[in-house]
Chain A
Amino acid sequence: MAKTLFEKVWDQHVLTASDDGSALLYIDRQLIHEVTSPQAFEGLREAGRKPWRVDASIATADHNVPTTGLEHGITDPVARTQVEALDTNCKEFGIIEFPMGDIRQGIVHVVGPEQGLVLPGMTVVCGDSHTSTHGALGAIAMGIGTSEVEHVLATQTLIQKKPKMMRVTVDGELPKGITGKDIALYIIGEIGTAGGTGYAIEFAGKTIESLSMEGRMSLCNMTIEAGARCGMIAVDDVTIDYVKGRPFSPKGDIWERAEAAWRDLYSDADAVFDQEICLHAVDIMPQVTWGTSPEMVAPIFGGTPCLNDAKDDVQRQDWQRAFAYMDLEENTAIMGITIDKVFIGSCTNARIEDLRAAAAIARGHQVAEKVILAMVVPGSGLVKKQAEEEGLDVIFKEAGFEWREPGCSMCLAMNADRLEAGERCASTSNRNFEGRQGAGGRTHLVSPAMAAAAAIKGHFVDVRNWR
């Protein structure tokens, strides 16, 4: 029987299935960070349980870590307690951790693929909604809550209802200056933040195939912003080339066998999806969000919507609240919006290709005087090292950007990196919710190149015309 990519991986991991559609699913890899794991470890301890399989888990601290002054450690005592709890828990339960100070430390969704700890065909979970990132490798990867983190630690399984399947096909050549981030924001604008609720989404089509692995990860990362816990892309040469030779990737004979198995990870020609959406690359422009939900997005030469165009009262009130929070009005041109801060980083856009794209824009320019902070936060110690070997740090610093240590940083502002009330930010992160980057802060989501260009000009510009 013809199967979708999702079904192929799902079926290989179902242990038992119930009549109500829920299944006991085997989990190959769990990624762990400091924020959503302490209560899970405490639960194990209270019940006198041990992890089912310690070699299936890998941990790193990312949400709370500072991005400057690492020699002082974490100065916030509450944050420090949480990071230390991760260190202690990993030691006590025998789980590998890349702690602060280890060059492999970084954002969990950058570190996993970088180390070859996430492989095609795996089931991957993490107590973080952006776990969808790893679907770029042809894995079923989804975010879970802390109770489920504990369940996976204790049993190596998860009780899951099989989601419905959606395929989003994007056809055509990838236009110049358009990235995985723009594709993600465009799709969310089309289907809405709840458009994928209850679904696993497969991204397919020529445009998607032409994305690098970094671009695919940016796209799958934001699947959750369309409501779907899981986004996936079929395995091809790009996937295989990316995985090969990584520290934890299989080697020798086992590599040969693995690659042969992974080459089957695509949707069969006559596989059936519950929903199909077809989009065209030619319609995708550089995207900028204007509101407080990722679906509130416009092309660079567009503007904020007209309230009369809202589909109903609920949406009209949503837009009005967003305008008030963002200090914008209807029919405002995106290019006219000026910014105070710039953040280039996060599990969406802190990989080497993202930093290269931003540096290519910044080279030989200066951050606009009115921009009070432009920061670049690499996704991991290894991304930072690679960028420094390529001289990207020098380009950024000469242009007036701050070059920071790896971590989640101002994507969610759990550490000291944040917006003050009323500040407006061009950000390569994934959420523009109220208060996300700091109470009262205003976030506009963009690609790394668009963020760098906004830093130089002090307002949003079209990177396709950059010189």
Chain B
Amino acid sequence: MQAFTRLNGLVVPLDRANVDTDAIIPKQFLKSIKRTGYGPFLFDEWRYEDVGQPEMDCSHRPIRKEFVLNQPRFQGAEILLTRENFGCGSSREHAPWAILDYGISCVIAPSFADIFYNNCFKNGVLPVVLKDDQMDALFVDVAANSGYTLTVDLEAQAITSPTGRTFNFDVDAFRKHCLLKGLDDISLTLQQSEIIQAYETERKVSAPWLFGAS
């Protein structure tokens, strides 16, 4: 996994609550068996006027000019600012894959859906929770300032605005550790193989109905 340490990036505001993973990456793109290539289809139905299909060349598709990701001032954005309950609905990890593949590696919102939040950490995408009033302030700033960037420092758990205003955020110690180092948590878990085996040995005796479906 790609590590996330510190990012200074252009911010794009998506001023909607309850953005679901069907909107982030529609179902037809879930037929792919790869982890990459979803970026051109991020927010497909909001971004384009036609209906996208897997592996389509998006460079000539008719775009919805009013959608934020299509506005010239937000091209190259690396930080997404959005509203409550971002990533709700389907568990599809294709959602953070699409976000990352597009070039966004930090999403800032007042709250996230649980599964999406988890999925981000597995893919080098940092989801940051800020308070509603802090979010409102950022939405105002980004609307007022073309080329608005933020600096996100995971080690310090802090977001800094161009004017030097700082917002601190919480993140679980283990998730932070893995994201900073880009660690594969399967290898970490396999270091505990003996504990897993001992548990299974005991459970085979105390709850044998849990074993042997094949």
Contacts and interface: CB of A to CB of B under 8 A. Distances in A.
A and B pair up: yes
Contact of A119 (B32, B54, B115, B210): B210
A194 B22 contact: no
A156 interface: yes
Contacts of A35: 30-31, 92
Nearest to B198: A15
A124 to B, nearest CB: 11
A265 to B, nearest CB: 12
Contact of A314 (B17, B195, B199): B17
Interface in A380-437: 412-414, 431, 433-436
A191 to B, nearest CB: 12
Contacts of A29: 213
A227 B113 contact: yes
Interface in A301-326: 314-315, 317-318, 321
B213 A96 contact: yes
Contacts of B91: 36, 127-129, 131, 143-145
Interface string B14-44: 0111101011001110111111000000000
Given A78-B54, A197-B114, A117 B186 contact: no
B93 A36 contact: yes
B51, B212, B214 pick with most chain A CB within 10 angstroms: B214
Interface in A116-157: 117, 119, 121-122, 127-129, 131, 143-148, 150-151, 154-157
B192 interface: yes
B17 A96 contact: no
A321 B32 CA distance: 30
Nearest to B178: A159
A229 B93 contact: no
B20, B33, B92, B174 pick with most chain A CB within 10 angstroms: B33
B186 A151 contact: yes
A333 interface: no
Interface residues of B, number: 61
B60 to A, nearest CB: 19
A177 interface: no
Interface in B113-138: 113-115, 118-119, 122-123
A85 B115 CA distance: 25
B196 interface: yes
A227 B185 contact: no
A435 B45 contact: yes
B208 interface: yes
A82, A163, A194, A255 pick with most chain B CB within 10 angstroms: A194
Given A54-B214, A145-B93, A155-B196, A18 B22 contact: no
Interface of A: 15-16, 18-22, 24, 26, 28-29, 35-36, 38-39, 42, 47, 49, 52-56, 58, 63-64, 76, 78-79, 81-82, 85, 94, 96, 117, 119, 121-122, 127-129, 131, 143-148, 150-151, 154-157, 159, 161, 163, 193-194, 197-198, 224, 227-229, 248, 250, 254-255, 257-258, 261, 293, 314-315, 317-318, 321, 412-414, 431, 433-436, 439
15 contacts: A15-B195, A22-B174, A26-B199, A47-B186, A55-B212, A55-B213, A128-B91, A145-B115, A145-B118, A148-B118, A148-B119, A148-B122, A198-B114, A257-B209, A314-B17
* Cβ-closest 6 pairs across A and B: A147-B122, A38-B33, A145-B119, A250-B209, A145-B93, A143-B91
Given A122-B210, A145-B96, A431-B20, 4 more contacts: A26-B199, A145-B118, A193-B85, A194-B113
